[in-house]
Amino acid sequence: MHAFRFDIPSFTLKIAAIVGMTCNHIAHIFPEEIIASCPFGSTILFFLYSLGGITFPVMAFLLTEGFVHTSNLKRYAARLALFACVAQIPYSLLWGATGNVLFTLLISLGLLWAYENSPYGKNHPNNTAPSPSPSPSPAPSSASTPASTLTSTPPATTAAATATTASAIAASSTTPAPTCSPDSTFPEASQNVSRETFSSAKPLVSSQSFVFMLVGGVALSSLCDWGVVGPILVLLFYLFKPRRTQGLALALSVPAASTGLPALATCAASATAGAASFPFEAVCQAGYAFIGMTLAGILLSGYRGRRGYPLKYFFYLYYPAHLFVIWLVRVICFT
């Protein structure tokens, strides 16, 4: 009897991410209105915040999948940059002069590229030049083979040997399929062409340059939503891709600790001071960190590499569109 296993496609992960993102943004923009809307307004607000914790871990994980399996990295980065610029207009109207999360993802994508093109990336399975497959011994040529042997070889046998040799050469010159862990295989691998392997002896990015780019990229991301923690989360997902379970646990522990532990400390300080209740904002942050990250981990553990419906532009367009709608509702209804 086979144990039941989740099989969640990337389409479902994206739907979960945009649902959590929408809930989180509504909770941030309309907290007083939600609390005043009904007797259970505080519970609803806590629920919305908690669902918001799903979003970025899923987006970060899918970014690493896109980096590994995209057929054109430049086009992928350009598309991300375009929608980041478009989304910045409604994002600034809501939160001021802070970069939106797509800029954080764009920085993280650049760090992944730098890692793959550095000496460190040479040890990664997706960045190792494959050793050519051993080819069968070539058929004897007419210049070195006795005439008796040539005349005794049937034409059909010669044609078969030639076809075998040609197919072996073609197979050895073909770029291998992307290396995946057993629980993250891509059924549609024929449609997802992996990035080219880097086989040059000299890396494009030196180790010193990579360290500089890493520090600079993480520092630059501090000006954006999910800054500092975001690029670290993306790199952890990527580096631990062959070990999915350990990678998920380690990566998700970073945002859970950076957001959840301060929230718990605030609650503990409030209890020590003899307060009648915990600060509501700290409670919401704890739900965002622990409940949201747990739900994200459950969803990501069920991913097996299946794409589902390929509506990629819908998700790019949804981000700036829903921000604009939220801003419009605030302006029309609550000002």
pLDDT in tens, 130-184: 445 554 544 444 433 433 333 334 444 444 444 444 444 344 444 444 443 434 3
DSSP lists the bridge partners of residue 99 as 224
Please answer whether residues 99 and 223 qualify as being in contact, where contact means their C-beta atoms are separated by less than 8 angstroms: yes
Q: 3-class DSSP state for residue 99?
A: strand
Question: Which among 69, 150, 64 has a CA at the least distance from the CA of 115?
Answer: 64
| pLDDT score of 278 more than 50 | yes
Out of 92-96, 124-128, 240-244, which region has the weakest mean confidence (pLDDT)? Answer: 124-128
Q: Which residues contact 158 (CB under 8 A, 6 or more apart)?
A: 139
Q: Give the Cα separation of 242 and 196 in Å (integer).
A: 19
Cα separation, 104 vs 110, whole angstroms: 10
φ/ψ of 110, rounded to 5, equals: -65, -35
In this prediction, residue 201 carries a pLDDT of: 55
CA distances from 34 to 54, 140, 180 (A): 21, 83, 44
Share of the chain above pLDDT 70, in %: 75
- Tell me the C-alpha distance between 113 and 121, whole Å: 9
Examine the pLDDT at 303 and tell me if it is beyond 80.
Answer: yes
Share of the chain above pLDDT 90, in %: 63
Task: Tell me if 106 sits within 8 A of 77, measured CB to CB.
Answer: yes
The Cα–Cα gap between 329 and 325 comes to 6
C-beta of residue 271 within 8 angstroms of C-beta of residue 278: yes
Q: What integer pLDDT is reported at residue 5 of this predicted model?
A: 67
Looking at residue 22, its pLDDT comes to 97
Helix residue ranges, H only, 38-140: 41-52, 55-69, 73-95, 101-116
Q: What are phi and psi of 198, to 5 degrees?
A: -100, 105
Residue whose C-alpha is closest to residue 67's, from 109, 122, 9, 26:
109
Tokens (6 digits) for 292? 């949201």
DSSP SS3 for 307:
coil
Query: Which of 96, 52, 78, 76 shows the shortest CA–CA distance to 223?
Result: 96
Instruction: Classify residue 57 by burial, with Cβ atoms within 10 Å: 0-12, 13-18, 19+.
Output: buried
Distance CA 173, CA 126 (A): 17
Answer with the residue of higher pLDDT: 129 or 311: 311
Mean pLDDT value across residues 118-125: 70
What's residue 276's pLDDT? 79
Lowest mean pLDDT among 164-173, 236-245, 298-307: 164-173
- Of 247, 255, 264, 253, nearest in space to 301 by CA: 247
Q: What pLDDT was estimated at residue 335? A: 78
**Alpha helix positions (H), 176-310:** 207-221, 229-239, 244-255, 261-272, 280-286, 292-301
Q: Tell which wins on pLDDT, 197 or 267.
A: 267
Span 116-124, mean pLDDT?
A: 78
Dihedrals phi, psi of 197, to nearest 5 degrees? -80, 150
pLDDT at 197 over 70: no
Rg (CA), the chain: 26
Answer left, alpha or beta for residue 8, where phi above 0 means left and psi between -120 and 50 means alpha.
beta
Least confident range from 29-33, 40-44, 179-183, 257-261: namely 179-183
The answer to whether 226 and 56 have CB atoms below 8 angstroms apart is: yes
For residues 124 and 43, give the distance between their C-alpha atoms in angstroms, rounded to a whole number. Answer: 45
